[in-house]
Amino acid sequence: MAAFGRFSQMLRRSSLTRTRRQLSAFVDSHEADSAKTWKILTFVVALPGVGVCMLNMFLKGSEHSHDAQPDFVPYSHLRIRTKRFPWGDGNKSLFHNPHVNALPSGYEGHDD
């Protein structure tokens, strides 16, 4: 047991252990510098970039009108109903939107 104690003291005093401690201190300071850099980049680059993208989306979105329904074209291969849906009147899909989704005969509420 005494030999183990002498061996561990010798390892503590060795230059390899001192070098590891110095490298550990360097890594800790490097991590702090790296964290500071990423924090600055977040506030200076990322957040303004998100703000510019949001502004662009808002301005482009306000140019388009979403009030107009698309024209109904009764293509034979679209809206094929081989059997009725098990809910409602059987003609509307589960997430049916009468403003956007047309039935096989056309949009709801239009006499076109």
Which of the four pLDDT bands, split at 50, 70 and 90, describes residue 88? confident
Q: In sequence order, which residues have a C-beta less than 8 Å from that of residue 14 and are 6 or more positions away?
A: none
Domain residue ranges of the chain, discontinuous segments joined by +: 7-63
pLDDT tens, 1-30? 677 777 666 666 666 566 666 656 656 666
For the segment 46-52, the average pLDDT, to the nearest whole number, is: 96
User: For the segment 50-74, what is each residue's pLDDT rounded down to a tens digit?
Assistant: 999 999 999 988 777 667 777 888 8
Helices and strands (H and E) in the chain: how many = 3, 0
